[in-house]
């Protein structure tokens, strides 16, 4: 599960759409061996229309799937170039029958995030999760936008489901631990915040411990100390792409101002 930074402050995960629509199958019964030329002609005349209809249906479905794949591929390229309006225009061309595709919904939801329409984004991500409930990338997006909207209970539930599925490992797992800690502060559970913070601080020399320390300082009104901690993080972890999701989480929570 690879996170993709969107809009400068929201970490989401984009999935590759399946782009599939079930083809309509027309069953063609096997013909009995004809006893005469007339019988053979009769059998063929009955089967030919059904066979032709099945072939036409399959060809039509295949053409639609190929067209959808091209449209979504083009839309993803536009999105990668941050041309959001053009991406939305491309998605508008997707036939209604395919708009329940999880990949389509995820990409449209990401566009809503870029346009800062988080409620619309959450609707798309939740719908995608219904279509593909086992996909951790979609569940992460639902939890992440719930966090941004300060819907703490929903965010906690979403992140904990990911943890229970074993879908949060490495840096993404540490980031989820950090977000869960902040969720507890958001909903006013000081004891659980402090428990999680103490646990996070044991992960020495990590981004989790460093940003937890900064968050605790901001929480306690120690602005100068928190800023000094963030400056130290910049020095110890010079690769900005590593720090970005963490710093952006601080923006989302309100500890530091947006850019």
For 128-168, the pLDDT digits (tens) are 999 998 899 999 999 999 999 999 999 999 999 999 888 77
Mean pLDDT of the chain, nearest integer = 83
Look at residue 12 and give its three-state secondary structure: strand
Residue 194, in any domain of the structure: yes
In 3D, which of 22, 23, 97 has the Cα closest to residue 54?
23
Residues with Cβ within 8 Å of 111's Cβ and at least 6 positions away in sequence, in order, are: 79, 84, 87, 88, 91
Q: Summarize the confidence of residues 121-129 as an average pLDDT.
A: 97
Which of 143, 168, 193 corresponds to the end of one domain? 168
Q: Which domain holds residue 123?
A: 1-19+57-168
**Tally of domains within the chain:** 2
Q: Summarize the confidence of residues 31-56 as an average pLDDT.
A: 51
152 and 191 share a domain?
Answer: no
- Checking if the pLDDT of 48 tops 60, the result is no
**Which range has the worst mean pLDDT, 108-117, 130-139, 143-152, 184-193?**
130-139
**Which range has the worst mean pLDDT, 24-28, 75-79, 189-193, 217-221?**
24-28
pLDDT of residue 10: 63
Which of 168, 197, 213 corresponds to the end of one domain? 168
Q: Summarize the confidence of residues 223-227 as an average pLDDT.
A: 98
77 and 176 share a domain?
Answer: no
In 3D, which of 135, 62, 146 has the Cα closest to residue 105?
135
Look at residue 117 and give its three-state secondary structure: coil
Higher pLDDT, 82 or 168: 82
Q: Rounded CA gap, 189 and 184, in Å?
A: 5
């Amino acid at each position: 599960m690879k996170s993709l930074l969107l809009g400068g402050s929201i970490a989401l995960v984009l999935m590759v759409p399946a782009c599939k629509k079930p083809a309509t199958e027309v069953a063609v019964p096997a013909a009995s061996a004809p006893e005469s030329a007339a019988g053979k002609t009769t059998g063929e005349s009955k089967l030919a229309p059904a066979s032709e209809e099945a072939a036409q249906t399959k060809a039509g479905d295949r053409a639609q799937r190929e067209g959808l794949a091209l449209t979504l591929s083009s839309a993803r390229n536009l999105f990668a170039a941050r041309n959001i309006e053009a991406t939305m225009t491309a998605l508008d061309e997707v036939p209604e029958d395919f708009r329940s595709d999880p990949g389509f919904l995820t990409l449209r939801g990401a566009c809503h995030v870029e346009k800062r329409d988080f409620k619309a984004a959450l609707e798309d991500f939740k719908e995608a999760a219904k279509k593909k409930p086992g996909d951790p990338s979609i569940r992460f997006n639902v939890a992440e936008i719930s966090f941004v909207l300060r819907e703490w209970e929903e965010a906690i539930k979403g992140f904990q489901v990911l943890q229970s599925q074993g879908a949060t490992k490495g840096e993404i797992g540490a980031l989820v631990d950090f977000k869960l800690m902040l969720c507890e502060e958001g909903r006013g559970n000081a004891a659980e915040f402090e428990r999680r913070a103490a646990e996070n601080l044991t992960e020495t020399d990590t981004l989790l411990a460093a940003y937890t320390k900064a968050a605790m300082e901001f929480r306690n009104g120690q602005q100068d100390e928190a800023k000094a901690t963030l400056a130290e993080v910049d020095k110890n972890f010079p690769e900005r792409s590593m720090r970005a999701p963490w710093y952006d989480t601080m923006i989302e929570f309100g500890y530091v101002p947006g850019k």
